[in-house]
Structure 1
Amino acid sequence: MVNNYLPSVGGVEFHVAALAKQLAGLGVRVTVFCLDNDTPSQLESNPRIVRLTCTPAVGGVLAWPWPGTSRQIRRILKEAPVTAISTHTRFFPMSLIGARLARRLGVPCIHTEHGSAAVKGVSPLVGLASKLIDRTVGRLVLRGASRVLCISEGARDFVRNLAGVDGEVFHNAIDTGAFTAGGTGRQNRVVYVGRIVPGKGWELALATAEQLAGDYPQMELHIVGDGTDRTTLAARAAASPLADRVIIHGQQPPARIAELLRGSVFLNPTTLSEGFQTTLLEAVAAGAAVVSTPVGAARYLLAEGADIRLVEAKDPDAWVDNVRAALDSPAEPPAAALVDSFDWKSRAAEYLAVVDSLRPGT
């Protein structure tokens, strides 16, 4: 039960799609309910995708289901018994519908929390509204869940502080095979992968590359992603002294992202309230050196032995120094066991074990 699903793209969307696919591969019948006015449902597949009509989305992210959506979902679910309901991120309306529907059906609700703090990078009015939603809808969802999974230690702390609920860490995952295949030879390439929106730090990535351009005449900056700042980025890049070496790719499939990351220096200058970023997992699996703000996933991966340098976003000189060091020194290859721990196959089996533990008689 999610607000947004593919073809919408983002961390939560990719997480839910990968989890649904892997659970289906384990023999589970999966139905995804989401809000989407434009994309047809896929009713014959597994996972089955049921797209429901909704209001226009605020910021392209937050839409509301129309009245009667819960009844519509209940009618669809009468076709077969329901084992459990899965919800994702506390403030989405579909998470609240999922929690309430689980109570009515007498089945467990497993909630996965992807946020580690209140929403950042928004206007004061939106920030105030988001806090009110957290303290009302968010608490109802978290307290109403049978089990709360948190994709990082920071998310677990946030859940405890917001709702007094003790969650358990359930780290994000990736298809590791897509990123470990192929060589990881050293490349004179700096890569940013993420949304092109305020707070994600694309400006710092560009400014850092500009400072290093003279010392590394073959260096290129590759920017992968899309968002509300895409036009501003294009204008800034066109006026940059690095203009002929800035490549703006837009959204790319995993195979192309993996190709760009191999042997590169990956920049993660975000200042937003991140969960457990899959882009960091992808970069480490692909053999990239990573320079990142000290978000939870970066701290975790550094403690596990990954080649990561942590730098505060407010220190641009330190960013230049650390990216220079990463360009000069090939990345240390990650331990195979660490990369294996990222894979969705093992994570989906862990999720299914949680579902089984909540079934009657287990």
Structure 2
Amino acid sequence: MSRYTTRTQGPRYGPDHGSALPGSPPPRRPGAQRSPGRVAMLSVHTSPLDQPGTGDAGGMNVYVVELAKRLAGIGIEVEIFTRTTSAALPPVVELAPGVLVRHVDAGPREGLGKQHLPAHLSAFADGVTRSGRYDLVHSHYWLSGHVGRLAAGRWGVPLVHTMHTMARVKNASPAEGDAPEPAVRVTGEEQVVRAADRLIANTEKEAEELLRHYDADTGRVAVVHPGVDLERFRPDARGVDAGRAAARSRLGLPQDALIPLFVGRIQPLKAPDVLLRAVARLLDERPRLRERIVVPVVGGPSGSGLAQPEGLQKLAARLGICDVVLFRPPVGQDRLADWYRAASVLVMPSHSESFGLVAVEAQACGTPVVAAGVGGLPVAVRDGVSGVLVPGHDPAEYARALCRFADDPARSARMSRAAVRHARSFGWAASAAATAEVYTAVLRERRRTAS
């Protein structure tokens, strides 16, 4: 029996198990009258309006957007606060019915790196608290957690926090060439863990890490799996094989190719270099594969990868595989679904992942995954069923995994079908319903304490 409050399921509405039909009143959950009517959601360092896959935008951006939309669909208004990074940005943007994005002035609007944001968090908190009053604060990432502590304290409301990544976890298994997370982040995370009424972890492993690395209170940790947009990320209605052929045609990819795909931010933490080294090894051992392999890398430089924005291209040149690697910039969600459908397999050799949304998105489209067995990826991928988990980051191991996909089409087809089934358990509506239950619980506790 888990020692945490684990909430992965909830009531289901609409095609994605939760979204209300356009123009219809939001469905009401049992006990909804005890839920917050208005939530301040904080995403200081990256805007929900940014394109995932480059800069600081990634899975967390998708998480915030999709969670906010689904919460609004069950009657909880959400206002997302993020930092103003351009004079051209309007103060308020309607992201979806019931979801607003508010831009807060805090520090220089342009040219301010994430490492310099701690000096401007108090100013950000002032901007948030001047915007009104909310029933609850939900912060994302440690920078937002610091603001959340201040805002929740001033309003006298509960603070719910989602870490997304943790400094001590990242520092325990650093990628080669990646700088360690600074002490100021570790201290900030410790403060947020102590202050939060509830910590939402993506998986049981992340919950264990909160206890082990930050001495979190077990009773304040709830496990809620993230979701996937099952309407956008799904197989072609004609089937996985027909959908793959159509997607390859739209993307200009050869129909008979082995296509191991990388999607994500290009930085050491995500380890796209491991895929390139694996492909080079594979071609050394089986040179005839060069005639039918294409390796798309869809994403842009981020984090420490910004220091060498062309480092991966140079690595491909040194490895002698420039002719088979396609570098493509980040793309919108609909186009991304086509890349997933076109791929033979998604490769995700990350050194650390709190969950791995990309892995679930790919599986929802019918594409198996080869991933590192780290963080939340053993939850996102069913090893041996919907994909393969590789222990460690040895390119030879990834090359062997790719060989099996090249040599055994029947196995690949079985995994494709299983991937779709596995991904169906991760609808965003279930995540939103479970998150709303967390909100309800902390509000109830706050009222009980006050009475």
Question: Could you say which TM-score interval applies, normalised by the shorter chain?
Answer: 0.7 to 0.9
Match of 2:211 in 1: 160
Q: Displacement, 1:63?
A: 2.1
What residue number does 1:5 align with? 47
Aligned counterpart, 1:52: 104
CA distance in 1, matches of 2:392, 2:107: 36
1:264 to 333, 344, 353: 344
> In structure 2, how many angstroms separate the alpha carbons of the residues matched to 1:340 and 1:61?
38
Query: Contact 1:311–1:318 at 8 Å: present in 2 too?
Result: yes
Show the counterpart of 2:182.
129
What amino acid is aligned across from residue 5 of structure 1 in structure 2?
Answer: S
Residue 224 of structure 2 aligns with which residue?
Answer: 170
Match of residue 207 from structure 1: 277
CA distance, structure 2, for counterparts of residue 215 and residue 59 of structure 1: 46
Deviations 1:34-74 (A, max 9, x none): 12321614526242111123346775576232654333322
| CA deviation after TM superposition for structure 1 residue 83, in Å | 1.5
Shift of 1:358: 2.6
Deviation at 1:122, TM superposition (A): 7.5
Larger CA deviation: 109-118 vs 274-283: 109-118
Counterpart in 2 of 1:358? 442
Counterpart residue type for residue 63 of structure 1: L
CA 1:158/1:124 → structure 2, altered by over 3 Å: closer, same or farther? farther
Counterpart of 2:147?
97
SS at match of 2:313: helix
Q: 1:276 aligns with which of 347, 350, 355?
A: 355
Identify the range of structure 1 (154-163 vs 230-239) with the bigger mean alpha-carbon deviation. 230-239
RMSD of aligned Cα (Å) = 2.8
What whole-Å deviation, never above 9, does each CA across 1:134-183 have from its counterpart, x for those lacking one?
2x321221111111110122321121121332212111211122121414
Displacement after TM superposition at 1:258 (Å): 1.8
Alpha-carbon contact 1:301-1:308 (below 8 Å) kept: no
Q: Equivalent residue for 2:432?
A: 348
- Residues of 1 paired with 2:179 and 2:85: CA distance? 24
Q: Summarize the Cα distance change of 1:144–1:193 in structure 2 as closer, same or farther, 3 Å threshold.
A: same
Of 90, 102, 127, which aligns to 1:72? Answer: 127
In the alignment, the residues of structure 1 paired with residue 327 and residue 138 of structure 2 have an alpha-carbon distance, to the nearest angstrom, of: 36
d(CA) in 2 for partners of 1:309 and 1:16?
28
Residue in 2 that maps onto 1:192: 262
The CA distance in 1 between the partners of 2:420 and 2:332, in whole Å, is 24
1:87 corresponds, among 120, 135, 139, to 139
Q: Read off the aligned partner of 1:235 and give its amino acid letter.
A: K
**Whole-angstrom distance in 2 between the partners of 1:266 and 1:76:** 43
**Unaligned stretches of 5+ residues in structure 1:** none
Higher alpha-carbon deviation: 238-247 or 226-235: 238-247
Give yes or no for contact 2:232–2:334 (8 Å, CA) kept in 1.
Answer: yes
Tell me how far 1:31 sits from its aligned partner. 0.8
Query: Residues of 2 paired with 1:123 and 1:52: CA distance?
Result: 36
Q: What amino acid is aligned across from residue 188 of structure 1 in structure 2?
A: L
Secondary structure of the 1:341 match is helix
**Partner in structure 2 of residue 221 of structure 1:** 295
Aligned-pair identity (%) = 23
Change (3 A) 1:335 1:189: closer
Tell me the equivalent position of 1:247. 326
Distance 1:141 1:124 in 2: 28
Distance 1:358 1:24, change over 3 A: same
Task: Report which stretch shifted further, 11-20 or 178-187.
Answer: 178-187
Check 1:304–1:201 CA distance in 2 against 1; reply closer, same or farther (3 A cut): closer
Q: Among residues 50, 61, 80, which one is paired with 1:32 in the alignment?
A: 80
Classify 1:306/1:115 alpha carbon distance in 2 versus 1 (closer, same or farther; 3 Å).
Answer: farther
Stretch deviating more after TM superposition (10-19 or 313-322)? 313-322
Which range moved further: 159-168 or 52-61?
52-61
Cα shift at 1:124: 10
The 1:123/1:210 distance shift into structure 2, 3 A limit, reads closer
The gaps in structure 2 that reach 5 residues or longer are 1-41, 51-55, 245-256
- Classify the secondary structure of the residue corresponding to 1:63: helix
User: TM-score when scaled to structure 1?
Assistant: 0.87
Q: Distance in 2 between matches of 1:246 and 1:125?
A: 24
> Structure 1 stretch 33-42 or stretch 249-258: which is displaced more?
33-42
Q: Contact between 2:178 and 2:268, CA under 8 Å: does it hold in 1? A: no
SS of 1:30's partner is: strand
State which of 87, 105, 112 in structure 1 corresponds to 2:162.
112
Q: Structure 1 residues 201 and 297 mapped into 2: Cα distance closer, same or farther (>3 Å)?
A: same
**Matches of 1:140 and 1:327, distance apart in 2:** 49
Q: Distance in 2 between matches of 1:62 and 1:172?
A: 29
2: distance between equivalents of 1:148 and 1:244? Answer: 46
> Does the CA-based 8 Å contact 1:291-1:308 persist in structure 2?
yes
C-alpha change, 1:311 and 1:86, in structure 2 (3 Å) is same
8 A Cα contact 1:114 1:155, kept in partner? no
- SS of 2:328's equivalent? strand
Partner of residue 148, structure 1: 199
The alpha-carbon distance between structure 1 residues 153 and 267, as it changes in their structure 2 partners (threshold 3 A), is same
Equivalent residue number for residue 21 of structure 1: 69
TM-score (norm 2): 0.71
The answer (yes or no) to whether the contact 2:139–2:148 under 8 Å persists in 1 is yes
| Equivalent AA in structure 2 for residue 23 of structure 1 | L
Match for residue 290 of structure 1 among 335, 356, 369 = 369
